[in-house]
Chains A and B, each alone.
Chain A
Amino acid sequence: MVETTNYLNTCNKNSSASFIKVESIPHWQQADDFELVQYAQHGDGEAFGELYQRYAHIIFRFIFSHLSDRFEAEDLTEEVFLRVWRSLSNYREQGVPFLAYLFTIARNVLVDFYRRAGRAGGLMSIEEKSLPDIHSDPAEAAMVNLEHQQVRQTLEQLREDYRMVLILRFLSGLSPEETGEVMGRTPGAVRILQHRALSALRNLLEL
């Protein structure tokens, strides 16, 4: 962290010699999101790579909880990060945490996807799809896809804010504070919403 901060300071002093030091700052894991965003805004692809490493799985889970096709979810996850990269200059840390910014773009990507899919004649049903999966055994892959589909369909029966809080908290694995940032609520409000959403979900389940 100290090294990266010093690096920023040397950049600010307009030293082209110190700017070349970018290759000697590999401690991205120690930098916080804001610092990584700053480096990325200066064109540092590796800093953005670290942001990707931190958030790709969270974004993927969020997107995959809305889709039935894993490959489409992978494509859309990449698209989210591409859009973030290309709009990074517009991002200012004040007001909107990076995570919330990321989810805003993820939602936009999903909306665009649904719009495109709608124009193209709608999304395919699970029966129409091949079952692309990471599992080598076709039977196992089919079971996994079926189970994934059941979770998705169960969540789809909930109202939007309940579904969102459950996806963010239990599938994307965000804390109440992070979920609050994404949803624009206080952590306390997220905890209350989470309780209601879980109760509503329990009513749907046949346990």
Chain B
Amino acid sequence: MFGDPAYNQDEFGLVLHVCLESIENGEESIESILPRYPEIKDLLRPPLEAALWLYKRSWLFDPNPAFVVTSRYRLVSQFKSEMNIPFSSRRIQQTSLSPTNRKWNTLSFVVFLGTVVLLVLTGLKSIGFWIGNSLPGDPLYRLKLTNEQLQLTISFSEEKDAQLSIQYVERRMVETERMILSDHERFLPLAILQFETQLNQAKQTIRVLTEKDPQEGRIYSQRLADVVHMQANKLEALNGFYPEELQKLINRVLQITSERVQIRYVD
């Protein structure tokens, strides 16, 4: 492509650029500059002519000076008004070094963090509430039982185990009572089964405690009997108000209570 081997593409490009600059500055014309490069003048002429053709027409693309002035004024005014909004709706995120903006950034971050913490705490509290009030058959009920088992696992004394077990037996009976009162009889057999299982577990825990400390064992077995009998009395009082089908289930709870809680540890 290049007639003279003394010029490679880079050099030719550079020569062309030098020629263009001279012509653009008005120092030279095509006819005056080409004789300086006789060996490549035929190669230089076409691009120089094309460049001159473009130069001559570049003014067609100039902006209207009035547009630049008014547009600048309009944009700067808009930016200034945007900057006056503390919690700006602009998409820009300020990484400002200015004390004013840093203060706003810190404040907005604290507010944001506080809101997040509040939402998390509220959310956790709500979830805890719903788990605590769940009944057999509810989706969250399994979480409730898992939590109870976890507490039993991480308790490292027999007394604590016994105390928790009694508390859980009471919960099962309260759940049964709530299900009767709220006409949740569909899952009532499941609740009774849970109660029976929990009662057996409590008895086992107290038995272990008694082997270790008979006096403590007696105290906890009496406490279990009191809790169960108190709840049983409530159920017995309700028994007469419900249809026969439901009465059978209530009687089943009462039967379990009378059969299983006859723990009398005599010295």
User: What residues of chain A have their CB less than 8 Å away from a CB belonging to chain B?
Assistant: 8, 11-12, 14-16, 19, 41-43, 45-46, 48-49, 52-53, 56-57, 60-61, 64-65, 70, 73-74, 77-78, 81-82, 85-90, 134, 144, 147-148, 151, 166, 170-171, 173, 176, 188, 191-192, 194-195, 198-199, 201-203, 205, 207
Contact = CB atoms under 8 A, between A and B. Distances in A.
Cβ-closest 10 pairs across A and B: A191-B13, A198-B47, A45-B79, A202-B50, A202-B46, A60-B63, A170-B54, A61-B61, A201-B50, A49-B76
A46 B64 contact: no
What secondary structure prevails in chain B residues at the interface with A? helix
B100 to A, nearest CB: 7
Given A85-B75, A89-B95, A188 B50 contact: no
Contacts of B94: 41-43, 89
B63 A74 contact: yes
Interface string B49-63: 111011101101111
Contacts of B95: 41, 89
Contacts of B12: 192, 195
B61 A64 contact: yes
A15 B98 CA distance: 8
B62 A46 contact: no
Q: How large is the interface on B (under 10, 10 to 19, 20 to 34, 35 or more residues)?
A: 35 or more
B120 interface: no
Nearest to B66: A134
A42 B105 CA distance: 12
A171 B75 contact: no
Nearest to B71: A78
A195 B100 contact: no
A77 B71 contact: yes
What secondary structure prevails in chain A residues at the interface with B? helix
Contacts of A205: 49-50, 53
A199 B62 contact: no
B97 interface: yes
B2 to A, nearest CB: 10
Which of B61, B83, B101, B102 gathers most chain A CB within 10 Å? Answer: B61
